Amino acid sequence: MAKIDTAFFDLSKLEEMANNDTVIHRIDPRIKVLVASMFVICVVSFHKYTISAILPFGLFLIIVMGLAEIPAFFLLKKIVLVSPFAIMVGIFNPLFDQQPIMVLGAITITGGWVSFVSILLRFGLCVGAVLVLIASTGFNTICLAMVKLGMPKIFAVQLLMLYRYIFVLIEEGLRMYQAMTLRTFHGRAIAMKTYMHLAGQLLLRTLDRAQRIHLAMLCRGFDGNIRIRQSLRMARLDIFFLAACFAILLLMRCYNIPAMFGRLITGIT
């Protein structure tokens, strides 16, 4: 129970971080959405065997995290929490792709292992970029920025509702889990049939809660528009930040900077 509670409060901590006042938090949300999108596009566009050229993007993300005062350990825990999805995507690569890529002493590294590491690296960077964006902006503001950038309003509102009320669903699940544990003797195994019954009850409670939430929103005048207290104003600093980030990201995408430094140090052309 304590682990589930901790995971729940960790999710809400992202929104608390968005209320900080740093140089990254003061950047226009539309600029941050564009930079994060460019970051993800550059990272995922690399070849499946590329590893070294992706590493500078990690340094870029670390610098942004430092400027936004986002705890690195907190972010790393979230990335590790969702990493099984990436592991399941690339876990069979070493079996299907056994083409030798390099030899380190007596160890032959195949293309499958290289592509597997590349998938994990790119996954971690993309998830980290999204988490940094949420922690430095807030999901409400991100949805408004995406609408201003041309995203259909109905899609942005659906994303906002999904993100906002997943906390309500988790809270309802926590109550049911706590009730189940209080009614279960210690050391007694819980049958799968019980979990299926709880899932059905959670679905019914979710439907009932959704109707009450919808009525409450209508009573408060919700008309489908996203409103926040912050006004979106783009200043010269925002334009400079956008241009600088785009230039740095394109430079890291077009050139293998670690390989260039390696050739410069060793003198090998």
How far is Cα 102 from Cα 105, in angstroms, rounded to an integer? Answer: 10
How far is Cα 260 from Cα 269, in angstroms, rounded to an integer? Answer: 9
181 or 250, greater pLDDT = 250
pLDDT digits (tens, 9 = 90+) for 196-207: 777 777 777 777
Q: What is the CA radius of gyration of the chain?
A: 23
- Judged against a pLDDT cut of 60, whether residue 5 lies above it is answered with no
> Residue ranges of the domains in the chain?
1-151+231-261, 152-229
pTM score of the predicted model? 0.80
pLDDT on residue 227: 63
How far is Cα 133 from Cα 38, in angstroms, rounded to an integer? Answer: 12
- Judged against a pLDDT cut of 70, whether residue 129 lies above it is answered with yes
How far is Cα 201 from Cα 171, in angstroms, rounded to an integer? Answer: 14
Structure-block tokens of residue 175: 């109550």
Q: Is 176 helix (H, G, I), strand (E, B) or coil?
A: helix
pLDDT on residue 65: 92
- Mean pLDDT confidence for 229-250: 86
pLDDT on residue 243: 94
Length of the chain: 269
In contact, 257 and 53? CB cutoff 8 Å: yes
pLDDT digits (tens, 9 = 90+) for 88-123: 888 888 888 788 877 777 777 888 888 888 899 999
pLDDT digits (tens, 9 = 90+) for 24-72: 988 999 999 999 999 999 999 998 888 889 999 999 999 999 999 888 8
Cα angle 45, 98, 53 (rounded to 5 degrees) comes to 30
Of 35-49, 104-118, 224-238, 253-267, the range with the highest mean pLDDT is 35-49
- Judged against a pLDDT cut of 60, whether residue 4 lies above it is answered with no
**Residue of 117, 43, 48, 52 lying closest to 263 (CA atoms):** 52
**What single letter denotes the amino acid at residue 222?**
F
pLDDT on residue 84: 85
